[in-house]
Structure 1
Amino acid sequence: MPSHVSADRSSAQPPSRGSVDALISQARRLKGDVDAVRRDTQGDGSDPTERWQRALYDLALHQLDDLDEHLAQLRDGPLPAGPAAEQPPAEAAQAPSGPLLSRVGSAEWNLLTDEASWSGELYRILGRDPASPALTLDELPSLVLEEDRPQLTAMVTDCLIDAKPIDGEFRIVRPDREVRTVHVMGEPVLDADGSTTSMWAVLRDVSELRRSERAVSETRDSLQRRRQRAQAEHRVAVEVQGAVLPPWHGSLRLPRRGAGSLDIAAHYLSAPASELIGGDWYDALELPAGESLLGVGDLTGRGPVVTSTMAMLLGAVRGMAMAGTRPGELMALLNRLLDSAGRPALGSAVCCRYRPADRTLTWAQAGHPAPVLYRAGTGRRLAPPDGVLLGATPTAAYGQAEETLEAGDLLLLHTAGLVPGRAGADGSDALLDLAPRIADAADAQDCVRAVVAEFDTAERQDGACVLVARVES
């Protein structure tokens, strides 16, 4: 068995210097590559995923630092022990514990003579004066945190009595009150009769490594909790949205009887790029005296809070429309409602009231894309009346416009996220290009399918709603 104090020194037949130098060069190149990627990917620290990635990079760099220094120690050997080292004793005792040569030390405790021998590196790990005598096994626990002493005692006892190897960690308190984590590996030294005569060990300061590992674990747990919270919020938002959006599927006829009715279909397009549901909504409702309500809108933000506000807003739209409130006044009331809500938000909307007797469409908008009217194979966006975003100012006034429709006309209402990344601030160019396909559609549902096929892409960052109403003869 090798000598105890030589455990952290070069072996009798060291590897060739050239081969170790080559390994050192490779380790340093890899460390430089990891550090470069780490710097390139650093954010502001607000994203748990970024914090977790940064912690992993830090851990990898600590491991590579250790590998680099281990290889250097293998090539050059450690610093000498005792007060004859390169620096004075007092200075040596205060040497920083960063470099690996002050993080790996060795010791032997002779049971026959009750003597202890430490390498110079171990003095630096423990922050002790190299001129002072090495501590015996009975004295060593005095450096260890009280809660870790039973673990150290059990390891030493198993080694001395049962000849078991030592492999464990404990925390020590240096004279400057700094707490460090030390990993120890050792074995008993036996005589010819199999009796334990001494014990040797290699001790390594792993404080920075454990700190990095804790950072990785904590950020991983934080990220997991964030994902679970996001999944719960998504589920709640989906349930709220499903509860308040119109329950009908396929086509809807409004009013259900009479000439000039509307064939209506609608669809909600989700956002694959986001796990959270936004505040997009659509509605179609038969009103008293045979009129119909058509509307779409959007609220800023995502998640359960936004969808609950959307539910409140949609309920107010239906109630006021059933009470006979005209679109312009309805928008003004919605604006006051949103401005006075406990959670202030901004929203946009367009609401239309259709009278089938003379095919008149009365509508108003609040900072929202105007409806697109398709007629005879061409399309145009209706000229919008005045109207600012809902919630922007409590005293805003909203205009109202009228449009006379014809049999066969098709009206398309949508929220702003329908046409991501297309020409025109509100997607007008892309929507107008659909006019030939709209003209060939058999019904409103067929029109919605054409719109969804064109714009429901994986690059979508926000959800969107589209509602189509076709005037029947």
Structure 2
Amino acid sequence: MPSPVSADRSAAHPPGPGSVDALITQTRRLKGEVDAVRRDARSDGGDPEERWQRALYDLALHQLDDLDAHLAQLRDGPEPEPAAPPIAPGEPPAGTAGGSLLSRVGSAEWHLLTDEATWSGELYQILGRDPAEPALTLDELPSLVLDEDRPRLTAMVTDCLVDGKPIDGEFRVVRPDATVRTVHMMGEPVLGADGGTASMWAVLRDVSELRRHRRTVRETRDSLQRHRREERTEQRIAVELQEAVLPPWRGSLRLPHQGPRALDLAAHQLPAATATLIGGGWYDALELSHGETLLSVGDLTGHGVSVASGMATLLGAVRGMAMAGAHPGPLLAMLNRLLDATVQPALGSAVCCRYRPETRTLVWAQAGHPAPLLYRDGTGCVLTAPDGVLLGATSGAVYGQAEVTLEPGDLLLLHTDGLVPGHTGSAAVDRLLDLAPRFGAARTAQDCVRTVAEEFGATERADEACVLVARVTA
């Protein structure tokens, strides 16, 4: 109930019903559009960004609901004071749904000369008081306010009455049912005929639900930011762990203590389309006793720090058991027992090869992994795989071994799944075998790896992939 004369201007004439109806129509149209976008974007996932988006949509809809109700109240005028009995403790105000923002705006005027107060029916509803009781004066109003918010209310009233400043602030009130509501108050001093302050009028709005939704948005935003920081930290740790464990090959690998090189070696890791997907793929070459060489390629399912750490553990175990003299088949069996004994279940695949340069013999075994490809005289073939299930799939698994004799100039290619994007199984193998003529023309193993990267590296892949090439030189 704004007074006709305020401290600095006459009250504005209310807008006509037609203009308010037009605003209501626009508000409802916008509300429908926002609701449609919210339904299209709704997801049942637990992703923090999705939760934050849902909270923002809900907040926008509640504010549009609120605006719709306030415009309708502006068009229809204040509701008459209800003749209903007092509100029972815990009962929502009349005409509102529990938890709703609708119809929660009231008005009041406090007359300084007579010390009287006039409240609208809506204000009684907001404060949960009996409309039959007299309205509280400015001296009595702080009795409803939380102790920590009373200085704020006192400062607002003092600024208004003494300095003629408009009121604009919030405070929390305790209703008779012991519920706490947040009230936003806006108002101005009203001048009397002598130019002095005669009264103060204000519009009070229950913004409890609005503040709750804003708090939800803030909390979900903070949760999203924490989640993103954790993701960046995990990614950095996973990358550093991966770089620390995998051989940093930027060209052909020269094994340190071997005399004349029996193998020309090169390897490469092709990244996933999403940089955050740091997986458990590895490639490795290790010089063993008597000039033998261990070649291994494998992959542990999953992504992140725990998977990168598991990959480092597996690779360390492969190296240690190979140095101790374990052959490929028994080595994979022990690796399977290691995974079976870990606290967190995991699955992995691997191929392990042991090359003897004196006889140019390759002994190898696989655990649910693509078999090595052998290129000779411009053509390629898939080596016949011995028996072997995925690592960690079953206890007590036995892994067979196969043996093949290589010739000078032969090229062996080991790889993980996903090397050929969009192709799996035999289709991926066919694409790799088609590279035989280009491998035959290549001078080094590094040239062959570069050919693979040029052919398949530009295409986005769902997961990272590893390739290792070994060319028999003597």
TM-score (norm 2): 0.91
Residue aligning to 2:355: 354
Q: Residues 175 and 21 from structure 1, CA distance in 2 versus in 1: closer, same or farther, beyond 3 angstroms?
A: same
Task: Report the counterpart of residue 321 of structure 2 in structure 1.
Answer: 320
Change (3 A) 1:63 1:109: same
Please give the alpha-carbon distance, in whole angstroms, between the structure 1 residues aligned to 2:335 and 2:258.
Answer: 28
Q: Helix, strand or coil: the match of 2:418?
A: helix
Structure 1 residue 146 displacement after superposition: 2.1
Q: Give 1:79 shift.
A: 1.0
Paired residues for 1:51-90 under 5 Å: 51-80=51-80, 82-83=81-82
User: d(CA) in 2 for partners of 1:22 and 1:304?
Assistant: 57
Question: How far did 1:448 drift?
Answer: 0.9
Work out the CA distance in 2 between the residues paired with 1:176 and 1:333: 68
Q: 1:257 aligns with which of 259, 280, 295?
A: 259
Deviates more, 1:231-240 or 1:106-115: 231-240
Deviation at 1:436, TM superposition (A): 2.9
Distance 1:423 1:331 in 2: 24
Alignment partners' CA distance in 1, 2:151 and 2:16:
43
Tell whether the 8 Å contact from 2:277 to 2:463 is kept in structure 1 after alignment: no
Confirm or deny: 8 A CA contact 2:5 2:190 kept in the other structure: no
C-alpha spacing 1:443/1:205, structure 2 compared with 1 (3 Å): same
- Shift of residue 224, structure 1, vs aligned partner: 0.7
Deviates more, 1:383-392 or 1:33-42: 33-42
Whether the 8 Å contact between 1:366 and 1:387 is mirrored in structure 2 is: yes
Find the counterpart in structure 1 of residue 186 from structure 2.
185
For 2:367, the equivalent position in structure 1 comes to 366
Query: CA 1:129/1:101 → structure 2, altered by over 3 Å: closer, same or farther?
Result: farther
Cα deviation for residue 430 of structure 1 reads: 2.4
Q: C-alpha displacement at 1:14, in angstroms?
A: 4.1
Give the aligned partner of residue 449 of structure 2.
448
Instruction: State the partner residue of 1:393.
Output: 394
- 2:459 is the counterpart of 1:466: no
What does 1:103-142 correspond to in 2, within 5 Å?
103-142=104-143
Summarize deviations over 1:112-154 as a string: whole Å, max 9, x none.
1000001111111112222221111111112222221221122
1:166 and 2:167 correspond: yes
CA contact (8 A) 1:102 1:125 kept: no
- CA positional deviation for 1:444: 0.9
Shift of 1:110: 0.7
C-alpha spacing 1:188/1:126, structure 2 compared with 1 (3 Å): same
CA–CA distance in 2 between the matches of 1:191 and 1:101? 35
* Secondary structure, aligned partner of 1:157: helix
Quote how far apart the aligned CAs of 1:200 are.
0.9
Distance 1:23 1:76 in 2: 14
Alpha-carbon distance in structure 2 between the residues aligned to 1:297 and 1:70: 65
2:175 maps to a residue whose letter is R
Q: Give the conservation status (yes or no) of the 8 Å contact 1:4–1:107.
A: no
CA distance in 1, matches of 2:400, 2:177: 75
Amino acid at match of 2:31: K
Gaps of 5+ in 1: none
Q: Kindly indicate whether the alpha-carbon contact (under 8 Å) linking 1:230 and 1:276 is maintained by their aligned counterparts in 2.
A: no
Q: Which amino acid aligns with 1:95?
A: A
Q: Does the residue aligned with 2:272 lie in a helix, a strand or coil?
A: coil
* Distance in 1 separating the partners of 2:175 and 2:45: 33
Following the alignment from structure 1 to structure 2, what is the Cα–Cα distance between the partners of residues 267 and 408?
21
Residue number in structure 2 paired with 1:231: 232
Give yes or no for contact 1:414–1:465 (8 Å, CA) kept in 2: yes
Q: Which residue of 1 aligns with 2:31?
A: 31
Q: What per-residue deviation string (whole Å, max 9, x for no partner) do you get for residues 418-465 of structure 1?
A: 223214368223222322332232211111112122222463221221
Deviation larger for 26-35 or 14-23: 14-23
The separation in 2 between residues aligned to 1:220 and 1:90, in whole angstroms, is 37
Offset of residue 218 of structure 1: 0.5
Report the CA distance between 1:97 and its aligned residue: 4.2
SS in 2 for 1:177: coil
Amino acid at match of 1:453: E
Corresponding residue for residue 202 of structure 1? 203
Aligned counterparts of 1:83 and 1:330: Cα–Cα separation in 2: 85
Structure 2 letter corresponding to 1:384:
A
Matched residue, 1:95: 94
Conserved 8 A contact 1:4-1:200: no
**Cα 1:469–1:101 shift into 2, 3 Å:** closer
In 2 relative to 1, CA 341–89 (structure 1 residues): closer, same or farther, beyond 3 Å? closer
Q: Give, as a single letter, the amino acid of the residue that structure 2 aligns with 1:448.
A: V
1:349 to partner: Cα distance: 0.6
Unpaired stretches in structure 2, ≥5 consecutive residues: none
- Superimposed CA distance per residue, residues 158-179 of structure 1 (whole angstroms, 9 cap, x where no aligned partner): 2222222211111112222222
Aligned residues of 2:87 and 2:128 also touching (Cα < 8 A): no
Contact 1:251 1:264 in 2 (8 A): yes
Identify the residue that residue 330 of structure 2 maps to in structure 1.
329
Q: Distance in 1 between matches of 2:296 and 2:27?
A: 64
Shift of 1:385: 0.6
Q: Which residue type is aligned with residue 27 of structure 2?
A: A
Distance 1:275 1:449, change over 3 A: same
Counterpart residue number, 1:384? 385
- Identify the range of structure 1 (240-249 vs 191-200) with the bigger mean alpha-carbon deviation: 191-200
Q: Secondary structure at the match of 2:279?
A: coil
Question: Quick one: which amino acid aligns to residue 105 of structure 1?
Answer: G
Aligned to 1:48: 48
Structure 1 residues 325 and 466, CA, compared in 2 at 3 Å: closer, same or farther? Answer: same
The change in CA–CA distance for 1:350 and 1:101 in structure 2 (over 3 A counts) is closer
Call closer, same or farther: CA 1:466–1:125 in 2, change over 3 Å.
same
Shift of 1:83: 4.0
